[in-house]
Amino acid sequence: MRVLLTNDDGFEAEGIGALRAALAGSCDSVITVAPAADCSGFARKCTFARPVAVTRVTGGRHPVYHCDGSPADCVRAGLLSGLAAGADLVVSGINHGANLADDVVYSGTIGAGLEASVLGIPAICLSQQTPLGSFAVNYREDLASAGLAYDFSFAAAHGAQLARSVIRARPAEPVVLSVNYPARCAGAASVLTRPGRRAYPRVAMPEWAADGDVRSLYLFGEPDEIIPEADALPGTDIAALRAGYVSVTPLAPAAGISPGVRSFIARLAEAFPIATRGRWPLRVRGSGTTH
Answer whether residue 283 shows pLDDT above 60.
no
Q: For the ranges 36-45, 98-107, 197-206, which has the lowest average pLDDT?
A: 197-206
Is residue 281 very low, low, confident or very high in pLDDT (cuts 50, 70, 90)?
low
Q: Which is more confidently placed, 224 or 80?
A: 80
Instruction: Note the pLDDT of residue 230.
Output: 87
Q: Where are the domains of the chain?
A: 2-195+227-251
Mean pLDDT of 235-239: 94
pLDDT digits over 56-100, tens only? 999 999 999 999 999 999 999 999 999 999 999 999 999 999 999
pLDDT digits over 16-32, tens only? 999 999 999 999 999 99
pTM: 0.87
The residue length of the chain stands at 291
pLDDT digits over 156-201, tens only? 999 999 999 999 898 888 989 999 999 988 888 899 999 999 998 8
Instruction: Give the chain as a 3 state SS string.
Output: CEEEEECCCCCCCHHHHHHHHHHHCCCCEEEEEEECCCCCCCCCCCCCCCCCCEEEEECCCCCEEEECCCHHHHHHHHHHCCCCCCCCEEEEEEEECCCCCCHHHHCHHHHHHHHHHHCCCCEEEEEECCCCCCCCCCCCCCHHHHCCCCCCHHHHHHHHHHHHHHHHHCCCCCCEEEEEECCCCCCCCEEECECCEECCCCCCCCCCCCCCCCCCCCCCCCCCCCCCEEECCCCEHHHHHHCCCEEEEEECCCCCCCHHHHHHHHHHHHHCCCCCCCCCCCECCCCCCEC
- Compute the mean pLDDT over every residue in the chain, rounded to the nearest whole number: 89
CATH superfamily placement of domain 2-195+227-251: Survival protein SurE-like phosphatase/nucleotidase (3.40.1210.10)
Is residue 145 very low, low, confident or very high in pLDDT (cuts 50, 70, 90)?
confident
Instruction: Note the pLDDT of residue 170.
Output: 86
CA atoms within 13 Å, Cβ hemisphere of 98: 31
Percent of the chain with pLDDT over 70: 89
